[in-house]
Structure 1
C-alpha cells in the first residue's frame, strides 16, 4: 500500500487469535447464516461452541462446517437453556478464562467482542455487557427502543446496576462469574435472569459500547414487533 506522499504505508497489524476465550453461540434454525458468522468469528476467536437448540434445519451441520464444536439439544429448550449448555461446556471441558456469548444471526461485531475481552483483562472486570445505547441513538424502531429502555430501567431497579441495555446478547464473562450462573428461564426472560445472577455476584463489571447490525435477516429473526411484545410480557410476568 502506498500513501499519498509516495511512501510505503506499514502493513496492517496481524490479527492475534484470542485463545483464552470461547464463543458460546446458541442457534435455532440459523442454517442460512451461521456458517459465515462462525467462520468470520474464528479469525479472532478460534474456539467456538455452538449449541443447536433443536433446530429443524441443518444449522448443526453448518455450524460444524464453520469450525465450531457443536452440542445439540434434541428438543427446543429455549435460548437460556442453550446458553447454559454452552457455558457449562466451556467450564467443564476447557480451561478458558472468558466466555463470550454471541448471536448466530450476524448482528454482533467480532471486533466489539475482542475489545470487550481486552477491557475485561485490562480493567480486571468479571463481566462486560454490550450496550447499543452508550454512543447515542441506535437504529431501532421506536417501539423496540421503548421496550429495551423499559427493560433496562426494570433491570437497574431490581439489581442495583445502572444499565442502558439489559437485552444485549453480546457479553464477556470471566470464568469465576460464569461458574455462578444457573440459567433456567427461556424466551426473552433469560436476558433479565443472567443480569440478575451476574449482579448478585458483586464482582466488578461495566457496560461497553457495541454496534448491532440490523440486517433484513436479523430483523426477520429477532427484531420484529412480536419479539418486542415477548420482551414486554416477560418483563411483566417474570
Structure 2
C-alpha cells in the first residue's frame, strides 16, 4: 500500500495515526450514527470512539478497536476533537466507493493536535488525495450512567434483522410502541396508522435475539415528536 511508505519523519509530527486498507470499513460504521452534522472523536490506546449527540437527550456511539486498524499509533493517553461528520464521510467516499473486486480505497488518518486539522490520505489505484478537515474543541458528551443493578430489561438484537423489522412498520403511524415482557408476546413492535393497529411479535428464542433478559413488562413509546427524540414510557405491573 503506497500510503504505508509515508516517511517516519512525517509521522513524528502527529499525535494520532490510524490506517486502514479499506476506507469503506470505517465509512459504513460512521454512516450508522450520522443523524447530526458533528461528531466527537475520542482516541485511546484501545481504539477510536465516535460520539454523536442531539439536544443532550440522544446519543449514538461507535467504537473501533485498535486491532481493526492496520496501524494505530497514539502518543498521548487520550486524544479528542470534534469534526463535521458529513464532510468526513464525503472525503472518505471521494473516489466514489469502487465496487471492483480487490480495488479498495486505502486510508491514513492523521492528527497533529489541538487547533490542527484532521488530515486524510486516501489512495486508490495509485492516485493519492489529501483532505484536511477543520477540527473543533470537543464538547463534553453526556454521561449516560446506566447502573447494571438498576436495569429492568435488556434485549440485544441483530441489527440487520431489526432493520428488516422496521421496514415492515406502518409509516403512517405517529407512534412506535415497543413492548418487552417475560411472557408472551416477549418482544413486540406496535403501530397505530391509517390502516389500523398492527403488532409485530418476536419470540425470545428467535434468530434475531442475541440476548433476552426481561424481569417485568415494560412499554416504551416513540411519539410523533421523534424528530425531537422524545420518549414516553410506562411499566405496568404484571
Higher RCO, 1 or 2 (CA under 8 Å, sep at least 6)?
1
* TM-score bracket for the superposition, by shorter chain length: under 0.3
Determine which structure has the larger helix proportion and give its number: 1
Bigger radius of gyration: 2
TM (normalized to structure 2)? 0.24
